[in-house]
Chains A and B, each alone.
Chain A
């Protein structure tokens, strides 16, 4: 018998239909993958099971958990279920814990609430649970506060909270999306073990087909609040009978067509003489250590450690590494937003380190940036014309208003938007369109180098495929060089000629993207490659297991 049974679940918020006739079930000890793009209703489905919906939401249909009619249960009954029989893990570990309470308090709280255990007993159990999720007492006493932990460690605490009372069902909503691949693999392993240990049912929500394929026996694919296809994971994804399933699978493994990939120097004598566009020479960046007392400071933290590399004109280079490896610090220095402690950076032959803002102006024209978050990087009160035209102020000859509008129109056209969009505000665009806007903003000054910091990791797979295509196309058309910062190897593989692997502030490996990813040499690169989920591999493995 199923542990969780969702039948004909429909849900509206106000007059907006969110879910229509959703069917889904999870058996004890089973992992069910719920897949869909943002806005498809995955999270709302999970929140319905927890009955933590916004108050304007109206649900109809049946949700039965362990014989209990969830939609008809009283709030008291739900409080008894939540945290005891049903646990939930959320997407964003950085904000999921209360910053003013210790991790011990937060894990013990649910235990005390549900079991009426004494403080000492509850703390004892909290300690055991934290040990279980890989946070040993020596380094992680109960008295630690969330801000003293990293994202992966915080997610372990959230899992400890959710699993402290050995729930029958765990709902994990994008539990690893905010983590780098190595942490992701660790957290997924932990979840898998917990499922096996307690015959816990797991409803794993993700937009990442590869992750779900690795984890889930069965899969439900959701789109616009409706189930498109559901069934055995390996069969569903290998047969791809439903057109939307096929579309999703193709988008997740999409590689943009790039007829003219940039050759490495040795292969092309013409390029050997060309001066590198960007040259980074033994750059180091230290941050002052934490103050230990009034006069004493801890040793400085070396974020970037003696890094040298160069990028040729038109070349597309990936900078790959785990979170905290120093890749963003390095990018900030390349963009001259931060100065190195030692070392020099040359851009088009000019030293850009230690220069004043006025001296940097010509360099600024030729390098632009695209950020990860298409929601956060625009002022919501400005029109697109102003936002996209923003970098134009670094031009030597300030364009007139008509010229400015022409340039914005052209940039919008180049990224596949309509020049009519110029008079709209950012909120009128979807996430993918907003990322197109930030690309338009980046190319409007015809830069020679675009630094893109995780430019597609906040996007859904199909949108991600389109944006990768756009990057590839602009590289071909405008000859712009890219420095792609990412922890996602699929992205690196899709769009770059060369890859640099960064670890603990050092670049530990560099080479052709396909070579490094297929035959990694350094430990860091091997770890990244091994941890990266791969859809084809995961399907093959599942099929093999099933015979």
Chain B
């Protein structure tokens, strides 16, 4: 178990370092000079050169990487080129929107997907299964921004239950803040829930053919109890894998959804920073997202061992 844990941890750390190199390199390759952008088109070459020196843009590449990566470790992300404030302040402001959004969406998609998967697997091949999986197919196919617009139209414009966009801030109270997150969370969660429901269903159907399901039935457990007690946990490994991968999609999905709902989250920050060539902000936020995804997948790896005792005793 310890060996398994250490191995996973080591893999996560190596991935993080490699990812940081890739992020740094890619943004170096992209054309566009941040110094020129900050000073405007009328600035002289000398002025630009001066600023480049000040910003450390003329230092050799490895030195700049080390400087940047070292900063990340001490949570010093540098200063934004456009806003001239520490990146960490920008991130702190935005993460209180994005993280709750992603977590609510993740929870929603799990809460929807697992019961639907159980329902469908329990009625494998019958009408209920066909209808549920048809709906899931639709959920996978419909893009989330279109879905977001429909939600806005229905719940905000027509029923006037929630705001159509914007975020009042947590200082306005928990309920108003949650109210403005609920539609974006649904829009993010539904396509993910559709995928997850299909995975849950097929994993369950496979498990339901196993001999131990028959043993459980022969004990006198009703079908529903067998499904919950014996099948679900065995079907969890593929479901957890997909759940981990989905977290990355949820984070990426926030870029679109935050724009649709006009939410001041990390997604919008990245989007704006890219258009403004605010490389330092892009790098930092992307690295933050990468770290979050790696952390979640590490958690998923560890949860395999919780679910399956065979992994615990193997090395």
Contacting residue for A100 out of B211, B215, B225, B234, CB 8 A:
B234
Q: With a CB–CB cut-off of 8 A, which chain B residues contact A100?
A: 233-234, 307-309
A90, B215: Cβ atoms under 8 Å?
Answer: yes
Inter-subunit contact B234/A110 (CB<8 Å): no
Separation in Å of the B6 CB from the closest CB of chain A?
A: 7
Q: Which of B3, B212, B307 contacts A294 (CB 8 A)?
A: B3
Q: Which of chain B's residues have a CB closer than 8 A to the CB of A397?
A: none
Asked whether B2 is an interface residue with its Cβ less than 8 Å from the other chain, the reply is yes
Q: Which residues 214-240 in B have Cβ within 8 Å of A in the complex?
A: 214-222, 225, 229-230, 233-234
Q: Give the chain B neighbours of A109 by CB distance below 8 A.
A: 216, 219, 221, 229
In the complex, which range does the number of interface residues on chain B fall in?
20 to 34
The reply on B315 being an interface residue by CB < 8 A is yes
Determine if A13 is an interface residue (Cβ-Cβ < 8 Å): no
Question: 1/0 per residue A76-100: CB within 8 Å of B?
Answer: 1001111110011010100111111
B46 / chain A contacts, CB cutoff of 8 Å: none
User: How far, in angstroms, from A80 to B225 measured CA to CA in the complex?
Assistant: 14
Which one of A75, A76, A83, A293 contacts B219 once the chains associate, using CB atoms below 8 Å?
A83
**Cβ-defined partner of B218 (8 Å) among A87, A95, A294:** A87
Asked if B220 and A82 sit within 8 Å, CB to CB, the answer is yes
Given known pairs A50-B218, A75-B222, the reply for A95 and B309 (CB within 8 Å) is no
> Nearest Cβ in chain B — how far from A170, in angstroms?
11
Q: Which residues of B contact A95 (CB under 8 A)?
A: 210-212
List, in ascending order, chain A residues with CB within 8 A of B6's CB: 294
Chain B CB within 8 A of A212 CB:
no
Give the secondary structure class of B's interface: helix
Does B313 have its Cβ within 8 Å of any Cβ on chain A?
Answer: yes
* Complex interface residues of chain A between 50 and 83 (CB less than 8 A to chain B): 50, 52, 75-76, 79-83
Does chain B have a CB within 8 A of A333? Answer: no
Is the pair B308, A83 in contact by a Cβ cutoff of 8 Å? Answer: no
Residue of chain B at shortest CB distance from A91? B211
A-B contact count (CB 8 A): 88
Instruction: Say yes or no: A110-B219 contact (C-beta < 8 A), given A98-B234, A100-B309, A293-B2.
Output: yes
Whether B210 contacts A294 by the Cβ 8 Å rule is no
Is A291 in contact with B315, judged by CB distance below 8 angstroms? yes
Does any Cβ of B come within 8 Å of A519's Cβ?
Answer: no
Q: Is A113 a contact partner of B221 (Cβ separation < 8 A)?
A: yes
A203 contacts the other chain (CB 8 A) = no
Partner of A148, one of B3, B216, B313: B313
Which residue of chain A has the shortest Cβ distance to B126 in the bound complex?
A55
Q: Are B216 and A80 in contact (CB under 8 A)?
A: no
A293 to B211, CA, bound (A): 33
Q: Smallest Cβ distance from A124 to chain B, in angstroms?
A: 18
A52 x B220 contact (CB < 8 A): no
A389 vs B230: C-alpha distance in the bound complex, in angstroms? 44
- Per the bound structure, the CA–CA distance linking A79 and B308 in Å amounts to 28
C-alpha spacing A291/B210, complex, angstroms: 30
Closest to B310 in A: A147
B308→A99 contact, CB < 8 A: yes
Q: Tell whether A92 pairs with B218 under 8 Å between CB atoms, given A98-B230, A293-B2.
A: no
Beta-carbon contact of A96 and B212 below 8 Å:
yes
Assembly CA distance A12 to B48 (angstroms) = 86
Q: Which residue of A lies closest to B312 (CB)?
A: A145
Task: Please tell me if the beta carbons of B214 and A90 are within 8 angstroms of each other in the complex.
Answer: yes
- Distance to closest chain B CB from A88 (angstroms): 4
Contact A84 B309, beta carbon cutoff 8 Å = no
A462 CB, min distance to chain B CBs, angstroms: 27
Residues of A near B214 (CB, < 8 A) are 52, 90, 96
* A147–B313 alpha-carbon span in the complex (Å): 10
Contact between B222 and A79, CB atoms less than 8 A apart: yes
Contact A161 B313 (CB under 8 A): no
A97–B309 alpha-carbon span in the complex (Å): 13
Q: Which among B6, B215, B217, B225 has the highest number of chain A CB atoms within 10 Å?
A: B215
Do residues A158 and B307 form an inter-chain contact, with CB atoms below 8 A? Answer: no
Q: Which residues of B contact A110 (CB under 8 A)?
A: 219-221
Chain B residues closer than 8 Å to A88, beta-carbon distance: 218
Q: What is the CA–CA distance of A345 and B164 in the complex, to the nearest angstrom? A: 78
B215 (CB) vs chain A CBs: closest residue: A96
- The reply to whether B315 and A113 contact each other, CB–CB distance below 8 Å, is no
Q: Do A147 and B309 have beta carbons less than 8 Å apart?
A: yes
Q: Which residues of B contact A204 (CB under 8 A)?
A: none
Specify which chain B residues have a CB less than 8 angstroms from the CB of A90 in the assembled complex: 211, 214-215, 218
Residue in B3, B215, B310 whose beta carbon sits within 8 Å of that of A158 in the complex:
B215
Residues of A within 8 A of B3 (CB): 291, 293-294
A98 close to B212 (CB less than 8 A): yes
Q: Smallest distance from the beta carbon of A502 to chain B beta carbons, Å?
A: 28
List the A side residues contacting B219 at CB < 8 Å: 82-83, 109-110, 113, 161
Asked if A294 and B2 make an inter-chain contact with CB atoms under 8 angstroms apart, the answer reads yes
Chain B residues with Cβ below 8 Å from A145 are 309-310, 313
Q: Which residues of B contact A50 (CB under 8 A)?
A: 217-218
Asked whether A99 lies within 8 Å of B234 as measured between CB atoms, the reply is yes
- Inter-subunit contact A113/B211 (CB<8 Å): no
Distance between A203 CB and nearest chain B CB, rounded to angstroms: 13
Rounded to whole angstroms, the CA-CA distance of A293 and B214 in the bound complex is 37
Residues of chain A within 8 A (CB-CB) of B211 are 90, 92, 95-96
Give the complex CA separation of A494 and B253 in angstroms: 69
Q: Does A135 contact B (CB under 8 A)?
A: no
Chain A residue at minimal CB-CB distance from B236: A100
Closest B residue to A111 using CB positions: B219
Interface string of A286-309 (1 = CB under 8 A from B): 000011011000000000000000
Within 8 A of B (CB), among A251-298: 290-291, 293-294
Kindly state whether residue A132 has any CB partner on chain B within 8 Å: no
**Alpha-carbon separation in the docked complex, A110 to B310 (Å):** 23
Residue of B nearest to A75 (CB): B222
Chain A: which residue is nearest B210 at the CB level?
A95
A370 within 8 Å of B (CB atoms): no
Among residues of A, the one whose C-beta sits closest to the C-beta of B220 is A83
Interface contact A84-B220, CB-CB below 8 Å:
yes
A318: interface (CB < 8 Å):
no
Q: What 1/0 flags go to A358-387 for Cβ under 8 Å of B?
A: 000000000000000000000000000000
**Would you give 27 A-B contacts (Cβ < 8 Å), ordered by A?**
A50-B217, A50-B218, A79-B221, A79-B222, A83-B220, A83-B221, A84-B220, A90-B211, A90-B215, A95-B210, A95-B211, A96-B214, A97-B215, A98-B212, A98-B216, A98-B234, A100-B309, A109-B216, A109-B221, A113-B219, A113-B221, A113-B225, A145-B310, A147-B309, A161-B219, A162-B218, A294-B2
Given A52-B217, A109-B219, A110-B221, 9 additional A-B pairs, CB 8 A? A50-B217, A82-B217, A82-B218, A92-B211, A95-B210, A95-B211, A98-B216, A145-B310, A147-B309
Contact surface of A with B, Cβ cutoff 8 Å = 50, 52, 75-76, 79-84, 87-88, 90, 92, 95-102, 106, 109-110, 113-114, 145, 147-148, 158, 161-162, 290-291, 293-294
